[in-house]
Structure 1
Amino acid sequence: MKSKILIHLTSMIFITSIALLLIVFVNASKKTKTDTDNAFELKGLPDLSFVDFSSRFQKALALDAMNVFFPGQFDKNNLVITSLADKQDRAFRNKIQDSGNKEGLSLARLENISGMFFKFIAVYAIVMLLTYYGVQTIGAWRFCRKKNGSVSAKSSGCLFVNVIKKTILFSGSFLLFCPAYVIAYSLRTEINTDTVFFMIILCVISNGLLMVYSNKFYAFLIAESRKGYIDTAIVKNLNNSYTGNIAQGISFKAILNPVKQFKGHVFDNIFRNARFQYLSTIKEQASFLITGMIITEMALNLHGYYSYEMLRQMLYGNSNILIVMFLGIFYTVKATEIFTDILVYKENLKYENK
């Protein structure tokens, strides 16, 4: 376990070092660019900053003045005037585009980003907990339902009810696999979609996150139920009924319980072993969730949210701030991986009776 933690910490130190080097490189590049832009002034050229090169008259007048000061080099003078005109035009356009949004990495900006980051982490942690519960609950419910068997409807009334149920299930499945921003845009005129609560709900029920990993957990349950130790447990008289309305079965309440325990039932061993396998997929699930959160916040233009701020800083070319924000995402992923490895390690100790 110590070796895994050391690997994680080493990678964090390595990436942080690269990020710091990038920040230094970006600052040096900006300084070099400034020196290049001022190259004409350093060569002893006259100060032409007062000339409006967008005016044809002033541009022609400046060229004539250059030809007087530097006779016999018309082509070079023309190139200088053209370059200065391009520089002035570029500076004007950049000033309009930036509109005061060009900024460096400062303490005030770090404090502002930190607040957004903690909000991002809070949403991420809550969604991870909800999906962790939802994945196991849906997987266990599907497994018990399959084991219990489905009752076919014989009357036309029951058939109609089944059609309605299937329609609702299909609509629910479509919703669970639907991209988050599509759901948000469809509801934007009806409710306020800029709240943290809505963001949490959106991340849980959309992007296929819940369904993909509940299917994985269900597959783990099916695989475990086919192993030999299950037959041995049944021979030893462990309960094997999945009917919910008897004492020896599995009730719906037990499936919904946040701490799922099925003592005296063969499903308890199946569930615990499947859960152990599922723990290793949390790393993948975390990356899936973070990607979905970033896309959702950016697509919805959620002002004051971490991902939208990252997009805004990218637009205005504030590379230093952007690198720090990327580091925040990286640290979140690595922290999740470390936490997952610790969970798996502790579960291993239980199996090894240590």
Structure 2
Amino acid sequence: MARIIPMASSIKPSLSSPPGFARRPRAGVPVFNSFHRRLTLFHLASAVPQLQSFGLWASKFIKGESGGISLSAAESAAQASTAIPQENALDWVKKDKRRMLHVVYRVGDMDKTIKFYTECLGMKLLRKRDIPEEKYTNAFLGYGPEDSHFVIELTYNYGVDKYDIGAGFGHFGIAVDDVVKTVDLIKAKGGKVTREPGPVKGGKTVIAFVEDPDGYKFELLERGPTPEPFCQVMLRVGDLDRAIEFYEKAYGMELLRKRDNPEYKYTIAMMGYGPEDKSAVMELTYNYGVTEYDKGNAYAQMAIGTDDVYKTAEAIKLSGGKITREPGPLPGLNTKITACLDPDGWKTVFVDNIDFLKELE
């Protein structure tokens, strides 16, 4: 759902550039991202003041005839009509039907990455779209259809072959039946193994770590059959208790488990909308004494489904999150979205559940 429009390397990102993007210009690296029609819904999620980062494609949707930027009367009315009392907003979050939809990130060689994911990790290429006039390509991969599975959205920007992953992004998790056999296959295909199969430190689960062609780390976890093999996204945070509270209140996630590892000086918290063996979850990691991370410009964002983007935005504000795209339908489309940053600056886009299914038709 994401595409990133490359900009001239001589243009510096403004102070409003979203967290996770380079503060200093890098030759050939885009400063910001926007998206094709279907997934315009997720990356037009940036705040209107950041319009200068979208490029001409986005501006033709957002700017009216006068060149000004404003919400339509219908959108404003809809936003007002769905507002709920503050005391009810956080309670509503717990009842909302939410699901992790997909994760968006950038790659330097689309064909090479697709080959690795399909041949080594057993994913399926769900769809691919090239937009030459806007110089980007999108590909969606996963272990099942997008309306029922958590999937990956890859973005390739013409001429950009390398991105900075940063220190904040951790890894993705893939559940496999046999870690040793999977690692042997990856080695045979020329893949990079960074941690040989063996029990996790302090536990019994057999794991291994591999890297894809762009350097994104994948943790292979040995599990029995599961409906969602693409099972984890690990991000590092500077205050774990603060992050847990925010994800519970604003995102409606459940704290599935928390484990402290004083010997290795880190603590993890697993957050999600269902059990780890049946659904994708967030793994938040706190390293002792580290309160801030460089997020680079490779990882983009998470997308989550919701029954009401307006109520979602209210709950996010009440929970201390920063709204970067006010809730409402996208210009020229009926899909309703809202976007925000968590306390650590990680971006999430919420999309209306019904509108999302219509976009997949």
Name the TM-score, length of structure 2 as normaliser.
0.23
Name the TM-score, length of structure 1 as normaliser.
0.23
Structure ID, larger Rg? 1
Q: Which structure shows the bigger proportion of residues in helix conformation?
A: 1
Q: Which structure shows the bigger proportion of residues in strand conformation?
A: 2
